[in-house]
Structure 1
Amino acid sequence: MSKRILVVLSEFGYWGEELVGPVEAFDRQGYQITFMTPTGKRAHALPPSVDPEYVDPPLGRSVTTRDMARRAADLDESDRLDNPVSLQALIPERPYYSALNHLRELEEYHARLDRATGDLVSGFDGLVIVGGSGPIVDLANNERLHELVLAFVKADKPILAECYGVAVLAFAREWEDRASILWGKHVTGHPKEYDYKDGTGFLGVDFNMGPPPYPLEYILRDATGPEGAFHGNVGKETSVIVDYPFVTARSTPDSIPSGELLVEVLENGLRRHGW
């Protein structure tokens, strides 16, 4: 039976190559891919990610080849991304503590959550969180997605997160102790050197955020603790870290090797790479 992968995309824009890399690796293996977005709206690629003429400000060059721009545009315009699964429809929302009947609502929440995450985890072999600027808006602090991540971790199933999608791993924490699931782990992600000073953009909003609202590198350094580490690998062409169950990818060029490494995790039991 072919393996099944759940791929989560932001509704505020994903980076084209960061979807293409894993999807092409999974397609070669014959994996079944299901796409999910926070509310079930169709995801779209960020315009710069399908424009080979766009110059990435921190790197001072284009990060998208003409061939990759074509592949990303073809996937973005295909019907494969139509009708994604809705995270909101499947995972319940934790009630506020100010709810009038909080105890009963909390009991019902946990019962529904266990059923929902149990069904999703049993139905998929791996989880992918695609990067880009969009995840800053609707994935990084999405408690429903946090619960899904925690369920995959508890089931000992792998999770690939790319670029600013890695923030989800830093914020996904058990409600009781709030301890980082990355504590003691080795990860990579968007380093300070790669952050924009201005022009962080999103689809569907007419708003220039300027720089990213948080420096992901600092968050990951704190989340991994003294026994783990953040690896920016600045100055190296690629940066992908495997510290099972996590596969983390720094940025755009890391999408292809990250997809290939997740396949290695699933097919050959890879548990460590890049550190």
Structure 2
Amino acid sequence: MSRILIVMSAADTWERTDGTSYPTGYWAEELAAPYETFVGGGHTVEFASPAGVLQPLDQHSADPEVAGPDSARYVEVAETALREFGAPLVLAEVDPERYDAIVLPGGHGPVVDLHEDADLGALLARADADGRIVGAVCHGPTGLLSATGPDGGWLFAGRRMAAFTDEEEQIFGTAEGAPWLLASRLRERGAAHQSGPAYEAFTVVDGNLVTGQNPASSAPMAEQVNEPCVPAARCCRSGRGGGSPGRASGRPGGRGGPSRRRRRRSRGRRRSVWRGRARGDDRQAGAGVHRVMAVLIRRWGQAAITPSGPSDGHA
């Protein structure tokens, strides 16, 4: 049995370049799906954050129109896990020797604080030097930017990784007004950023670094972390076979993609990413629906697209 530390952001607001404030928090699926996977694998999970602050839930991740049909279950799992654990550990006081893996979930919070958190940077540098697993999903890879290598450069420069793409940020409606976009920033800093289709599960494993592209990648990323020995330099796209290094495959060793049930959940989630609902703006919502529908039509055809009507969700 291993001990895994999930490092959360402490941010509840993302300041935009247009002067507006965007409410944020942890994304329920990105915390709950890894937690379930780790606990199901027999591991102990602990939580930490800057100053031990308990980040609120991002309410968009509780809205099935935005986050998919399993959103309520993910919210329940995440809230129960955090309540039972109690106050998060203070990140500055964490002993890296206690953990076999460090995992960074997303939500937009990490782009506010974790990208420049010196305590997280020191923790990641120590973990990487010891060969411990470092995992991150969606906006979680933002936290990797905090780590400095022995030469004074970015610790993860040259490493292959996935993260929330610029295209996905645009579809979701948060690209305009963002101070910077994660995938672009990672490339600027020297990462070998890799990506799959928008809002489809996609993970990359590069040595002890395991990353996922978006919320749909949360469970696949965690399954990779759960592996007792993570194969080096392997890129994995859920739902496809193959297992040679650098090729798309479902899981290490070519054991195939996610279950049929998970693929159905993933499709339902992608159909729910209506851009404007996250903005709460009717005009933006109309444009957002058309953009997302265009993505889905290219993928499945017109017959597969059945958008729902107005929701009474949290957006």
Q: Shorter chain as normaliser: what TM range? A: 0.7 to 0.9
Partner of 1:243: 206
Seen in structure 2, the aligned counterparts of structure 1 residues 235 and 251 have a Cα distance that, compared at 3 Å, is closer
Q: 2: distance between equivalents of 1:222 and 1:162? A: 19
Count of residues paired in the alignment: 221
Deviations 1:136-156 (A, max 9, x none): 112111111111110101111
Residue 29 (structure 2) pairs with residue 27 (structure 1): no
Question: Which among 160, 165, 171 is matched to residue 191 of structure 1?
Answer: 165
- The one-letter amino acid paired with 2:234 is H
Cα distance in 2 for residues equivalent to 1:197 and 1:5: 32
1:269 deviates by: 3.7
Between the two structures, name the one with larger relative contact order (CA 8 Å, sep ≥ 6): 1
Partner of 2:91: 87
Kept in 1, the 8 Å contact 2:147–2:156? The answer is: no
Q: Does 1:38 align with 2:50?
A: yes
136, 140, 159: which one pairs with 2:115? Answer: 140
Write out aligned runs for 1:71-110 (5 A).
71-78=73-80, 79-88=83-92, 90=93
Per-residue deviation, 1:44: 2.5
Amino acid at match of 2:163: G
Uncovered stretches (5+) of structure 2, i.e. residues with no partner: 12-24, 236-245, 247-315
Per the alignment, residue 186 of structure 2 pairs with: 220
Partner of 2:4: 5
Give the aligned residue type for 1:7: I
- Which position in structure 2 is the counterpart of 1:203? none
- Aligned pairs for 1:162-201 (under 5 A) are 162-174=137-149, 177-196=151-170, 200=174
Seq. identity, %? 28
Partners of 1:3 and 1:87 in 2: CA distance: 19
Deviation at 1:231, TM superposition (A): 0.7
Specify the SS of the correspondent of 2:211. strand
Partner-residue secondary structure (3-state), 1:224: coil
Q: Give 2:114's aligned amino acid.
A: L
After superposing the two structures, state which structure 1 stretch, 76-85 or 254-263, moved more.
76-85
Letter of the structure 1 residue corresponding to residue 231 of structure 2: L
State the alpha-carbon separation in 1 of the partners of residues 197 and 171 from structure 2.
17
Q: Quote the Cα distance in structure 2 between the aligned partners of 1:164 and 1:194.
A: 11
User: Equivalent of 1:270, from 204, 208, 231?
Assistant: 231
**Structure 1 regions of 5+ residues with no counterpart?**
55-63, 91-115, 201-208
Counterpart position of 1:65: 68
CA contact (8 A) 2:224 2:230 kept: no
> CA-atom RMSD, angstroms?
2.2
